[in-house]
Structure 1
Amino acid sequence: MGKSSDYLNFKLTSVSGRYVTNDHIYEFLSTLDESFHLDILGLSVKKRPIYGITVGHGPKRIFMWSQMHGNESTTTKTVLDLLNFIKHSSPSTEELLNKVTLKIIPILNPDGAFNYTRFNANEVDLNRDAQKRKQPESKILRKAFDKFAPHYCFNLHDQRTIFNVGNLNYPATVSFLAPAFDRQRNNSESRTRAMCIIAAMNQKLQDYIPGQVGRFDDSFNPNCVGDTFQMQKVPTILFEAGHYQEDYQREKTREFIWYALCTAIRTIANDEINNFSLNQYYKIPENNKRYVDILVENAHVLDNSLNEKDCVSILYKEVLDKDKINFIPTLLEKGFKPGQYFGHKTLNCLIDTDANWLRSQEIKDWGY
């Protein structure tokens, strides 16, 4: 489980891109046979169903949920790939499902997914509602957690294109975190187990994206779901699907999350957690925020108010338009010197032929 050939064979090509809603996933979910227990766990603010799928019959229970933030769809695509892989079962898959039981919520926030927004229909960030649980989606997640009584939790998210690894010019294509359970960020048996599983995933991913795995900030916030479940002494892992070179649709990152998920499940199933150490976890560099989508060097060629060698940074704003996400370039900052940011695309206005394109196509959107 988790081989490249497996992924290419079982990637669910009917669901792709950044805009993923209940309507996109239901056709596939309706094809799952009786070995998958598909049910409606509850309804969102706007009365959209929140689906849960349970598969496997092993003693180790793994609970995962995606699209808590409606505009973070990469991991949703990956869990569909995982379900499709299990659907076309093999002897090795059956062996694994004798060891683990998976419970998956592919879209926790279907209203946010429909509107392509982080928040639910009440404009609440569900990942800040873990304690008060005022939102129906938060109540559904906690009820599923309590009923399933998982041994492990996977909290599946996307992160923005701004993140790099450490201080290096590498995008944080995948990031992980074993959330803290107290303000001192102490370790415990459950948090240590989460860290060791992350070490296993990182080791696997270095074969595919060397240097492009980061460690997310572990500041404690009891209102966050991961911190709350860690406080319940359940090893919880935050997955953050980030940017891969030229992959704004997050189809390559989707694949890397597949390798990570398969590695984590296999590590748990086969009792391999103790093969990895805290030291391996802490060696993963922390994320930093030094990337922009377009870095324009020598921008004085485009703007006479700038000094020679001044730079301009541009980020894309993701805008939903007729079931498609458009990436609209927006000015972040201008007038800074080289070295402050890295660019997913870098243009030097003194030598790049793209400068005229920038002037004619994008400068109107930068805020000048």
Structure 2
Amino acid sequence: MGTKLLVTSAFIIIGIVVSFSIRREAPGLAIEETSIWKSYDRYKESAIPYRIIKHAEMQPLISKHVSSGLLRSSLQGTSVQGRKINHLVAGKGKTKVLLWTQMHGDESTATLALFDIFNFLSATDENDSFRHFLMEKLELHFIPMVNPDGAEVWKRRNAMDIDINRDAHALTTPEGRFLMKVADEIKPRFGFNLHDQNMLYSVGSSSKPATISFLAPAYNLVRDMNETRGNAAKMVVLMNRTLQKYLPDQVAKYSDAHEPRGFGDTFQNKGISTVLIESGGYQNDPQKQYIRKLNFYVLLSALHAIADESYEQEDMEQYHAIPDNGRFLFNLVIRNAEIVKDSLRYRASVGINYSASVDGTGKRLNYVGAIEELGDMHNNYGYHEVDASSFVSIPGKVITMKKGEWEKLSLESEAALLRQGYLYVRFSDQRSPAGPVRNRLLNLMNGISVSSRPIALYQYPNFVLAASGGKPAYAVVNGFLVDLSKKISYLPNTYGY
């Protein structure tokens, strides 16, 4: 009788263990085993195809998902200038997760990705089991665009000129107070603090851009790793592994210096396992549409890991193995360029960067280039590079024409002038406009003369790299490199000086 009881008990215990294992593993279909990545275009919100999104454009998209029943409108906040800050809820699970975007008004990539996620959650297709699992296990809280006033004018800070992500302690801003109120009321297990970072960050000292950087923020000055922060670090390990297939060697770790004024650090200290995601740069992706897709995908993988608690199995030590953000990138590097200064003639590498600003429409970005480094750049890299060791550097030529003639120039005509070494147009009948010039290849010029030194530190980068016979091979126009041997397209913008 005793033996039978022991055997029976053993089978019961085994059954319970197996049953528990099945319950944990059955819904844990890895995102890589779904069609979510290859089906992304089905979920991408087509109404916002560019980086810049305004508050007013967002509202009808939110209304669409509230009307469909996917999202529930919860606590509502108000910005300094009176714009509504939306707090949206989806799912009916016990585990609460908070995701917020655009604390900095000019960091929009994750905002776009959230609307792609809303479309995914509202779809019906072969990925139903994945989405239904999320909705049953999680209660998802979204605050897209914490800083709508900053987003309106594409600037980092809010209308009070305060950095909201340095306001978690003082809570001077209405936006910061609202975010803190939501977190205090819902008490989420996980938080995702979604930002953009400078595209010039690299993965360590490598040539690879840090397209995505993660951080499990420190909750104190000595950067201890308690259970709350440890769970965030484990989540980063899982997310990094998820991305490596689509972003090999382009994931880094953001600086973990403790910032007591920051929301991520503060939430971590409150017991909310918080993950920072910073979207950087990716080759030939100025609108960050591929990075948007990466955000969409890796956030869904993280939500699933929270739902089935698979993040707990990750090795936290792998978090420390992720390379740190470095700063070794330039937009353009010209290697071994000929530099002429006074009576000196020598060769050095040239580092060129662009600064961006929103144009008058509030929808497009304009760029202005600057030469920011001269010298030894063997440990620096560029998104674009050219070896100029066999070329001479010469100033661009100026062509004079009437404004009407300039307006009629075709792309092919401008390209032909560029190939002859012309970089500037001067109007003979009136002054030309100053500032960015769109849909052109040549700059405009009024009073300034072309420098006899085509390459000099801190000056505007406009020069020609010519072969020894004098034939132009490359042109640098407002910092953008143009290979004159290939088909030429309009630049994002030239400049009027």
Which TM-score band applies after superposition, normalised by the shorter structure?
Answer: over 0.9
- C-alpha separation between the residues in 2 aligned to 1:221 and 1:69? 16
After TM superposition, the structure 1 stretch with the greater mean CA deviation from structure 2, 134-143 or 21-30, is: 21-30
User: Compared with structure 1, are the counterparts of its residues 19 and 35 closer, same or farther at alpha carbon in structure 2 (3 Å cutoff)?
Assistant: closer
Which residue of 318, 328, 335 maps to 1:280? 318
Match of 1:173 in 2: 211
Q: Give 1:297 shift.
A: 2.0
Matched, 1:217 2:250: no
Q: Give 1:81 shift.
A: 0.6
- C-alpha separation between the residues in 2 aligned to 1:50 and 1:5? 32
Match of 1:291 in 2: 329
Amino acid at match of 1:143: K
What does 1:335-354 align with in structure 2 at a 5 Å threshold? 335-350=374-389
**2:205·2:379 contact (CA, 8 Å) conserved in 1?**
no
TM-score by length of 1: 0.93
Q: Give 1:182 shift.
A: 0.7
Q: Give 1:69 shift.
A: 0.3
Amino acid at match of 2:64: T
Q: Give 1:255 shift.
A: 0.8
After TM superposition, the structure 1 stretch with the greater mean CA deviation from structure 2, 83-92 or 10-19, is: 83-92
Amino acid at match of 2:139: T
After TM superposition, the structure 1 stretch with the greater mean CA deviation from structure 2, 347-356 or 233-242, is: 347-356
Match of 1:319 in 2: 357
Q: Deviations for 1:169-189, whole angstroms, at most 9, x for unmatched residues?
A: 111010100000111101000
Q: Deviations for 1:284-312, whole angstroms, at most 9, x for unmatched residues?
A: 111101111111223325x5468633122
Which residue of 178, 186, 193 maps to 1:155? 193
**1:173·1:242 contact (CA, 8 Å) conserved in 2?**
yes
User: Compared with structure 1, are the counterparts of its residues 337 and 73 closer, same or farther at alpha carbon in structure 2 (3 Å cutoff)?
Assistant: same
SS of 1:182 mapped into structure 2: coil
Match of 2:91 in 1: 56
- C-alpha separation between the residues in 2 aligned to 1:117 and 1:307? 42
Match of 2:138 in 1: 100
Unaligned stretches of 5+ in structure 2? 1-30, 392-418, 420-463, 466-471, 481-493
User: Compared with structure 1, are the counterparts of its residues 359 and 173 closer, same or farther at alpha carbon in structure 2 (3 Å cutoff)?
Assistant: closer
SS of 2:185 mapped into structure 1: helix
Which residue of 42, 48, 52 maps to 2:77? 42
Give the alignment's Cα RMSD to 1 decimal.
Answer: 2.2
- C-alpha separation between the residues in 2 aligned to 1:225 and 1:140? 12
Matched, 1:80 2:87: no
Amino acid at match of 1:191: R
Q: Deviations for 1:149-169, whole angstroms, at most 9, x for unmatched residues?
A: 111000000011111101111
Matched, 1:21 2:54: yes
Q: Give 1:105 shift.
A: 0.6
Matched, 1:117 2:155: yes
Match of 1:265 in 2: 303
The answer to which structure, 1 or 2, has the higher relative contact order (CA under 8 A, 6+ apart) is 1
TM-score by length of 2: 0.70
Q: Give 1:53 shift.
A: 1.0
Match of 1:66 in 2: 101
Give the number of the structure whose alpha-carbon radius of gyration is greater: 2
- C-alpha separation between the residues in 2 aligned to 1:260 and 1:351? 45
Amino acid at match of 1:294: L
**2:330·2:353 contact (CA, 8 Å) conserved in 1?**
yes
- C-alpha separation between the residues in 1 aligned to 2:180 and 2:475? 48
SS of 2:38 mapped into structure 1: helix
- C-alpha separation between the residues in 2 aligned to 1:360 and 1:207? 36
SS of 1:156 mapped into structure 2: strand
Q: Deviations for 1:241-269, whole angstroms, at most 9, x for unmatched residues?
A: 11111111100011111121011101110
Amino acid at match of 1:347: V
Match of 2:235 in 1: 197
SS of 1:85 mapped into structure 2: helix
Which residue of 333, 338, 349 maps to 2:372? 333
Which residue of 45, 54, 65 maps to 1:12? 45
What does 1:211-250 align with in structure 2 at a 5 Å threshold? 211-250=249-288
Unaligned stretches of 5+ in structure 1? none
After TM superposition, the structure 1 stretch with the greater mean CA deviation from structure 2, 19-28 or 234-243, is: 19-28
Residue identity over aligned pairs, in percent, reads: 31
Q: Give 1:237 shift.
A: 0.3
- C-alpha separation between the residues in 1 aligned to 2:334 and 2:283? 18
After TM superposition, the structure 1 stretch with the greater mean CA deviation from structure 2, 316-325 or 350-359, is: 350-359
- C-alpha separation between the residues in 1 aligned to 2:101 and 2:345? 46
Amino acid at match of 1:140: F
Q: Give 1:26 shift.
A: 1.6
After TM superposition, the structure 1 stretch with the greater mean CA deviation from structure 2, 31-40 or 344-353, is: 344-353
Amino acid at match of 2:299: L
SS of 2:283 mapped into structure 1: coil
